[in-house]
Structure 1
Amino acid sequence: MSIEWVESGGGPLIAIPESVLGRWFGVFGGTTDVEDYDRACAIDDYVGVIDVGGKSALVLADQPAVTTFLPEARMFVRAVAGDAEDDEFIALVPSVVAEARWESGPEIVVQEPLVVFDSAGQFARLEEDEFIRVDISPGRYRVRAAEEEWGDAAEMILVQLEPSRSCSLDSGEVLAGGDHGQMEEDD
C-alpha cells in the first residue's frame, strides 16, 4: 500500500470539505476581514475546527510536520521526528497508539471528502503532490490528539476522529465554536 504524505512550508495544515475548496484563500485573502491563513494560525493546539464556507474544516496545527491519513483508524499521523517515508515509521503507529496519552478536542461534522494541504495555500494554485484527499464516512466525530515519542525511532502527533455519541447530523451544522477547539486532557 502506497502512503501519501503532505507537508506545509511552516504553518498549519488544513482539511477542507471538497465542496468549499474555492472559499479558502490562504495568504491570498479571505472571506472576512482576517486573512484565512491567520485564522488557521490562531489555533494554538494540536487541532482545531474553523468555518470555511459554512462547513467545518479541521486545522492540524502546532507544528509543520509531514502528515498522512490512515483511513482504517480515521487517524492523521504527523511525523515530528523520524523518517516518515520509512515503512518502519508507520509500523510503529499501533504501538504508539496503545501507549498514547490522548487529549480531547473539538467535534466536527464530516459530510464529504476532505482535502488536506498547507493552510497558506489556495487550492487552485496547488500542484498535485501538495495535497491529499481523505475519505471519511459522513458523521459527527470527536477529535482527539496525542504527541508521543517512541524511543529514538520516532516522534509523532496523532489526530484521530472517533464517532461521536451526540445527536444526529444537521445538514448545515458547523461546530467551530469560539474556543477554536481547545484540547482537554482525557482522564
Structure 2
Amino acid sequence: MKWIISNGGPLIFSSKKSAEHWKGTAGSSLKKKETDYERACAIYDYIDVIVSGKDDVAVLGDEPMQSKIFKDKERIFIARWEYCKSEDLADDVLKNLPKDLNIISNDKFMRLLGGELIIFDSALSFSEIEIDPTPSVEEGIYRITTEAYKLEKEYSFIIHMLIKTS
C-alpha cells in the first residue's frame, strides 16, 4: 500500500465497510450539527476511536503524518512517518520491525468489521476516497498499541499495532 497524506487534518483508519458512513466536512454520520471532520479534529492523542454511523473508526490524531497500513506474517500495523531520509529506506526499515518497541501512549480498543482496511483524509466523505488494495482482517475487537521506532537522524515512525482480542 502507498503512503496516504492528508491536506492538513487528521487521517481516519477503519474497515472499508465502516468508512461507508463517513461524511467528512459535508455532514455528520451521527446526524448531529458537528461534522465528522470537526469531531476528528477534536482528537489530540496519537490515536483514538470514535463512531461513524454505528461503527468504530480510529482517528490518527496529533500531527497529520503520512501513513500506511502493512502486515507481516501475524501482525497488522499502521506506520506514521515523522521523518525518514527516503521512501525506500522507510519501506526497508518497516519490513524488519523488532518485536519490542518503545510504548508511548495507552492502548485503545476498536471493533473492526471484517474485510479491507483503509486510511483516508478525514475531510473527505466516503464517496471521495481513492481506495487502494490493502490488508484485510477478520471481524472482532482489536487492541491498538502506540509505539515509537526511531534511529536518530535516520528515521522516526509512530507505529500502531493491531492485536485481535475477540
Pick closer, same or farther for the CA change 1:161–1:19 going to 2, 3 Å: same
Partner of 1:45: 45
**Structure 2 portions without partners, runs of 5+:** none
Partner of 1:140: 141
Mapping of 1:1-187 within 5 angstroms?
3-30=1-28, 31-72=31-72, 73-83=75-85, 85-86=87-88, 88-93=89-94, 94-95=96-97, 98-112=100-114, 113-127=116-130, 133-164=134-165, 168=166
Contact 2:82 2:156 in 1 (8 A): yes
Report the aligned-residue RMSD: 2.2
Residues 14-63 of structure 1: per-residue CA shift (max 9 Å, x gap): 02332343421111221311111011111110101011110111111111
**Structure 1 portions without partners, runs of 5+:** 169-187
More helix by share: 1
Contact 1:75 1:161 in 2 (8 A): yes
What TM-score results when the alignment is normalised by the length of structure 1? 0.75
Which piece of structure 1 moves more, 12-21 or 26-35? Answer: 12-21
What TM-score results when the alignment is normalised by the length of structure 2? 0.84
Contact 2:70 2:78 in 1 (8 A): yes
Contact 2:79 2:160 in 1 (8 A): yes
How many residues get paired? 160
More strand by share: 2
